Structure 1
Amino acid sequence: MSSVVEQGRWRAIDVGGAKLDLWETGVRSDKPPVILIGTALTADELLPVARLLAADLGRPVLAYRRRGYGTAGTVAGSGSVRLDAGDLVALMDELDIPRAVIVGVSYSGAVALQAAADHPERCARVVAIEPPPVQSASASAFRVANTRLVTEYEHLGAVRAADRFLSRLMDPHWRLDVERMLPGAVAQAEADAETFFTADIPALLAWDYTEADAAKVTAPVLLVSGTASAHWFEEEIEAIRAWFPDVAHVSLPNADHSMALTHPTEVEAAVAGFIRDAAE
């Protein structure tokens, strides 16, 4: 039996040499908790979904910011998707969580898939919402786009380059839109922008997840896409979905790559339905 859901709260936690900001509810349950991994730049993108899941599922729900985000400060040097996956497991160890449902979006979708391959015994279910298109037919174009982002950062600095990037990804009024959906997120994104350019982009360009990695995944996998997203995200899902022995795919109408912020109810419904399908 689970207790009444309490308001989520943030706290800093030291995990294997990294400091992570952790958001968690006070609910208790014998079911595996849901852990939502902070993504790149707009780190708290999954927080609206986390709040909805906490009210809906009756099991522990946690969200955290990866190293280099929030109170952790900027990462020194290039990041690593595999290192981020290791941080997730170290966090689970610190919190005495043997297995969890793992949810990631965009960059953190890559972290979720990597964790499921490197530590399959720790993952009850895995959700990857539009993971980075590094295996798709558009992989080369994606890599070129990221290289150009780094060039913009070198010329303009982190905050201005981040503004240009988010203006293209969302719209020119992204600050108003994001602040309305997630108060405080604009200032947080500006503070975290250095990590995005110096750690996350190099980590993505070095990520070498293959069919051999996917073959190690034993948990059921849900891949989520949006019909209004750039074509390369749908291509990525088409490229990797056959790699997993137990995989589902949900495509959300009229949702784009920012769906966790713009369509949190629809994203939560897809994730919650996938979790409820589990015979735990």
Structure 2
Amino acid sequence: MTDTPVVLIRTALDAGELLPLGEQLAAAGLRPVDCPRPSLGSIRGEADSVAEQLRDLAHGPVHVVGASYSAAVALALASHRPDLVSRLTLVEPPPAGTAYDGVFRGLCEEMVADQRERGTAAALDGFMGALAGDDWRARQESLRAGSVGEIEAGAEAFFTADLAALLGWSFSDEEAAAVACPALVVQGAATRPMFAAMAERVARLVPQAALEIVPGADHLAASTHPVEVAGLISAATASR
């Protein structure tokens, strides 16, 4: 197993979403490290918090992985603290700077309003139902036992802080150009157009980026297809 850590930044809502991916990375001989992040209502603020953890974790730059929400945190980290990131993997980053900005912002605003009007439990059912189907609880438990409880535990922070962070986040062309390390952008083949557009944008604007598509996967590629995503990460790591 390599001594260089592969840091998995926890994503929103489900604190353990990347654990299966970490297991597959370990099986491939890499050293995954779980990286918690505070829900601060600010992508840049959370990137700064992760930066503090990285300084304590290693004596040099490390491979950073983010999925969905935490891909935004990873992008902010890599663009503003390039000295801490040697390689970047972004699985299904959220839209910013694409033609779908208005659509995405509208969805986030609707979810915030839904939580205020109907409460966290009802809003969570609405969000997860739209994302993964009405049987989302059974689907989640089939992917990882205990994940529904973790999702329910993270729901309050998701609706009150994480969505606000996404609404306040932007990612400029200049920030993309400031990412100095190789970057792997992973997209599910069946993802929504808004996420596909962002994956294509990042792959186009980040100087050393490559885009890989996971067949059969959607926005939840990191949790539904951990073997395939880990294989892409392992291959990219070996090619340096």
Q: Shorter chain as normaliser: what TM range? A: over 0.9
Computing the radius of gyration over CA atoms, which structure comes out larger, 1 or 2?
1
* Separation in structure 2 between the aligned mates of residue 238 and residue 98 of structure 1, nearest angstrom: 29
Give yes or no for the alignment of 1:220 onto 2:191.
no
Tell me how large the CA RMSD over aligned residues is: 1.3
Distance in 2 between the 1:124 and 1:95 partners? 14
Aligned residue runs from structure 1 range 1-280, under 5 A: 2=1, 29-30=2-3, 32-57=4-29, 59-68=30-39, 79-278=41-240
Unaligned runs of 5+ in 1: 3-28, 69-74
CA offsets, 1:229-266, max 9 Å, x none? 11111111222322111110001111101111211111
Q: Aligned with 2:122: secondary structure?
A: helix
Compare the two structures and name the one with the higher helix fraction. Answer: 2
- The alpha-carbon deviation at position 97 of structure 1 amounts to 4.2
Describe the shift of the 1:274–1:146 C-alpha distance in structure 2 as closer, same or farther (beyond 3 A): same
Cα offset, 1:160, TM superposition: 1.8
Structure 2 length-normalised TM: 0.95
Letter in 1 for 2:191: S
Structure-2 residue corresponding to 1:12? none
Runs of 4+ in 1 over 4 A off after TM superposition: none
Q: Which runs of 5+ in 2 are unaligned?
A: none
CA separation in 1, counterparts of 2:201 and 2:157? 29
The SS at the match of 1:48 is: helix
Task: Give the total of aligned pairs.
Answer: 240
* TM-score of the aligned structures, taking structure 1 as reference length: 0.82
Match of 1:250, SS state, is strand
Note the C-alpha offset of 1:98.
2.1
SS in 2 for 1:40: coil
Cα deviation, residue 112, structure 1: 0.8
Specify which structure has the bigger relative contact order, considering alpha-carbon pairs within 8 angstroms and separated by 6 or more residues: 2
Residue type of the partner of 1:198? T
State the 1:166 CA deviation.
0.5
Identity %: 36
Amino acid at match of 1:127: T
